Amino acid sequence: TSFMLSPRLSGGIPIIAHRGASGYAPENTMAAFELAIEMKADYIELDVHLSKDGELVVLHDETLERTTDGVGPVKDRTWAEISRLDAGSKYDPAYRGERIPLLREVLDRFAGRIGILIELKETASYPGIEEKLAQLIEEYDVAVIAAQEGQAAPIMIQSFERESIRYLAERLPDIPRAVLIHPDQHPLSPDTLADLASYADYINCNYEVLDRKLVRDIHALDRKVMAWTLRDEREMERVARLGVDGMITDYPVWGNEGK
Ligand code: G3P
Ligand code: CA
């Protein structure tokens, strides 16, 4: 790309690589996460579902067919079945052999190397997924990782599912968490915004509905705001100017010129 965010704009705004560096490698794979590190992203974002036998697996869709050589709902397949699938070839045959990762595998490989923003998907389909996530995160001493690596928050959680975030606010109070806002939910009433702020650290808004007033309203509640999902250079520059606290993008390299 010919466009580069000026260091003045990009400097200091955390860049989150959406499903990894998914503009350049198959989404939610180890390859995309490694590339995000090469591109100097601050975080990787990933999506989590439960397999039939209760494993936390990293995949965006509820079903397997868009990104892998499997078919059907992930919740109808065991981890043994899912682990054999190819998650790279549909993006590009050069990535044949990339697998759907377990969340545990991603944490083992990346916690401390790059921040990890975990999105819980469709939690109504997966009773108990919040507790499973909490137990897994508890195995990682995030305070030690933060101290070693100088990261404020080695792990963060986000979801559209507000009850899940409310649960995690109680269960893992030290792990920063975000509620995602879809354009259909805009505008948020002051009461709704205040309610969200009572249990979420971040209110992460679709970039289309983000304007100066919304950023100001969220900051007035002493909460932070990230913009998602930036796939356009000019939009990235626009939201950077609004003073957002993070930019979730498929193209993390755009935001990191000058780092
Ligand atoms: O990070 C926000 C974004 O990931 C939410 O949408 O569908 O890409 O998970 P989606
Ligand atoms: Ca996501």
On whether the CB atoms of residues 7 and 22 are closer than 8 A, the answer is no
Strand partners, 15: 247
Amino acid (1-letter code) at residue 171: R
What is the position in ligand 1's atom list of the atom closest to the CA of 60? 9
58, 60, 179, best to mutate for ligand 1 pocket (most atoms within 8 Å of CB): 60
Nearest ligand to the CA of 46 is 2
pLDDT at 259: 58
Q: Which of 18, 182, 250 to mutate to test the pocket of ligand 1 (most atoms within 8 A of CB)?
A: 18
In a domain, 108, yes or no: yes
User: How much distance in Å is there from the Cα of 209 to the middle of ligand 2?
Assistant: 17
CB 232 within 8 A of CB 1: no
Residue with CA at minimum distance from ligand 1 atom 7:
60
For ligand 1, atom 2: residue with the closest CA: 228
The active-site residue out of 49, 60, 186, 219 is 60
Does residue 219 have an active-site annotation? no
Ligand 1 center to 228 CA (angstroms)? 7
Structure token pair of residue 212 = 């100066």
The residue whose CB lies within 8 Å of the most ligand 1 atoms, and thus the one to mutate among 58, 184, 209, 229, is 229
Query: Ligand 2: distance of its center to the CA of 52 in Å?
Result: 21
Q: Write down the pLDDT at residue 148.
A: 75
Task: Give the structural domain span for 123.
Answer: 15-255
Could you tell me how far CA 202 lies from the centroid of its own chain?
12
Per-residue model confidence (pLDDT) at position 226:
97
The answer to whether residue 3 is domain-embedded is no
In a domain, 149, yes or no: yes
Is 1 domain-assigned?
A: no
- The residue with tokens 């920063």 is 176
Cα(56)–Cα(74) distance, integer angstroms: 11
Which listed ligand is nearest to 180 at the C-alpha? 1
Residue 40 resides in a domain: yes
Ligand 2 midpoint to CA 81 (Å): 23
For 10-40, how does the pLDDT look when each residue is reduced to its tens digit (9 = 90+)?
567 999 999 999 999 999 999 999 999 999 9
Instruction: Assess if residue 206 is contained within a domain.
Output: yes
Phi, psi of 255 (to 5 degrees): -85, -5
The predicted structure's pLDDT at residue 255: 72
Q: How many domains does the chain have?
A: 1
d(CA 44, CA 37): 8
From the CA of 207, the nearest ligand is 1
CA distance 78 to 99: 14
User: What CATH number is associated with residue 97?
Assistant: 3.20.20.190
The answer to whether position 9 is within a domain reads no
Say whether 232 sits in a helix, a strand or coil: coil
18 C-alpha to ligand 2 centroid (Å)? 7
Return the residue matching tokens 């499973």.
Answer: 132
Q: Which residues of the chain have pLDDT under 50?
A: 1-9
Is residue 186 flagged as an active site residue?
A: no
Q: What is the pLDDT of residue 54?
A: 98
Pocket-forming residues, ligand 1, beta carbon under 6 Å:
18, 45, 47, 60, 119, 180, 228-229, 248
pTM score above 0.90? yes
Q: How many CA atoms lie within 13 A of 53 on its CB side?
A: 8
Q: What are the beta bridge partners of residue 247?
A: 15, 227
Largest CA distance in the chain: 50
With respect to residue 117, please indicate whether it lies within any of the assigned structural domains.
Answer: yes
The Cα–Cα gap between 101 and 29 comes to 7
